[in-house]
Structure 1
Amino acid sequence: MGEKGLSIVISTGTEEKMVMLGVLSQTAVNLGMPLRIFITGTAITLFLKDGYKKQPIIPAGFNDFMKELRDGLARVKFQGWHELLQSSVKDGDAKVYACSLMSSALNLQKKDFDPMVEDIVGATNFMIQSTENQIIVL
């Protein structure tokens, strides 16, 4: 599909954003697009080792919606954001990076993260890698 890729900044670890991250990642890879993901904010804890097993953050006032969403995702047999992202990293030109500022602030090192996280980088590094990509923020 061309060299223009997709870069995603994920800063909030809510269920619907994690689902969107998984779907957009798999779609980009299926279209042959380079993909770069920058994890920061509250999303970072979901990318720690076994972090994907934790319940994502429920935004205040959305308890009923989140229950309905989880039930619906189970009903349609949604594979799961982590599985989709793992597949994207394995099968395509997809790289996942943790934010160096957040990692430092939380005293996290590369060994603390899920194996799919390629490295801990700063925003400058991520932006340089993303110069040819469409950048979206979740």
Structure 2
Amino acid sequence: MADKISMIVFTGTDDKMIPVGVISQAAAALGYEVYIFFTGWAMFKLLKQPMGEVWPKEFEGMVPKLKEGMARLKAPSWKDMLKQAKSMGAKVYVCSMMAEAAGLKKEDFDPTLVDDVVGVTTFLEQAKGGQVLFI
């Protein structure tokens, strides 16, 4: 069986989205099967018209320094890292129940980021046998 990592991404704050990009890109580059399931507030980051940056209140004072550091490192955005992971085979899904509750359809999501809108059972079947991270 191939190495496999799956992520359930619930929060839509940018401090959590950066690790989603980093982990998905690194795992895909190492040849892992990568499955990412966006639910809750995180799914709104994948819309064609996404919500803007959101940082936890307690981290707001550190955001400028973090952004400076990321720019100095020439680090790609979390979206670009996620797109890179997808180009290496990672799959990105949005939770169908949460999308429906919010009145959203597959067409509302950025097709360069989202492969499909699926139920949790579909995601769990794909994640079976691998490591699952909750972000």
TM range (shorter): over 0.9
Match of 1:125 in 2: 122
Give 1:61 shift.
2.3
Give 1:67 shift.
2.4
Match of 1:46 in 2: 45
Cα pair 1:97 1:120 within 8 Å, conserved:
yes
DSSP-derived class of the 2:57 partner: coil
**CA distance in 1: counterparts of 2:20 and 2:98, whole angstroms:** 19
Between Structure 1 and Structure 2, how many residues are aligned?
Answer: 134
Match of 1:99 in 2: 95
CA-to-aligned-CA distance 1:30-57 (integer Å, 9 cap, x gap): 1100000000111111101142xx5332
Cα pair 1:6 1:34 within 8 Å, conserved:
yes
Unaligned runs of 5+ in 1: none
TM-score (norm 2): 0.92
Q: Does 1:70 align with 2:30?
A: no
TM-score (norm 1): 0.90
Report the aligned-residue RMSD.
1.3
**CA distance in 2: counterparts of 1:46 and 1:38, whole angstroms:** 13
Amino acid at match of 2:124: M
Counterpart of 1:58 (choices 55, 71, 75) is 55
Identity percentage over the alignment?
A: 38
Give 1:4 shift.
2.3
Amino acid at match of 1:27: A
Cα pair 1:15 1:66 within 8 Å, conserved:
no
Give 1:74 shift.
1.6
DSSP-derived class of the 1:61 partner: helix
CA-to-aligned-CA distance 1:81-124 (integer Å, 9 cap, x gap): 1111111111x221000011110111110000011211111111
